[in-house]
Amino acid sequence: MSSHRISLARVEDLPPGATKKFIFDANGRKTEAFLANFRGELVAFVNRCVHLPITLDLDDNDFFTGDGNLFVCKTHGSVYDPKAGKCVGGPGQGKSLERLPLVVDAGVIYLDWDE
Ligand code: FES
């Protein structure tokens, strides 16, 4: 197992409320994920709903509910706590998105991935 960093974005390019999708290699499988700034806290999750294994955003990079309090899956409306990734309403309730580890170094956000 080796650890490596994948550069995702500059901190200044991801203000509160912003999200950015990315692809990374998870043990040989290309996996889609997203980075988000939730009120100043940077988080990243695999972009796969806990209800059905499809993306939350249906490809438009729009993850937050209108009030910015939660992430929402466009297909059946499961909503998620952006900090923990836990589904707090809808058909996926009680399960959690897969959270990914981040580090910030010299103003750059990296996925800090063990493989
Ligand atoms: S696929 Fe996300 S709520 Fe059903």
Report the side by side order of strands in the sheet with 29-38.
Answer: 19-26, 29-38, 41-46
Look at residue 58 in the predicted model and tell me its pLDDT: 94
Q: Which residue out of 59, 63, 71, 76 has the highest number of ligand 1 atoms within 8 Å of its CB and is therefore the one to mutate?
A: 76
> Which is the CATH superfamily of the domain at 3-114?
Rieske [2Fe-2S] iron-sulphur domain (2.102.10.10)
**Would you kindly state where each structural domain of the chain is located, as residue ranges?**
3-114
Percent of the chain beyond pLDDT 90? 90
- Contact of 63 with 71, CB cutoff 8 Å: yes
Dihedral-angle region of residue 91 (phi above 0 means left; psi in -120 to 50 means alpha; beta otherwise): alpha
Atom of ligand 1 nearest to the CA of 77: 3
d(CA 54, CA 11): 28
CA 26 / ligand 1 centre spacing (Å)? 22
CA 61 / ligand 1 centre spacing (Å)? 16
- Segment 75-83 shows an average pLDDT of 98
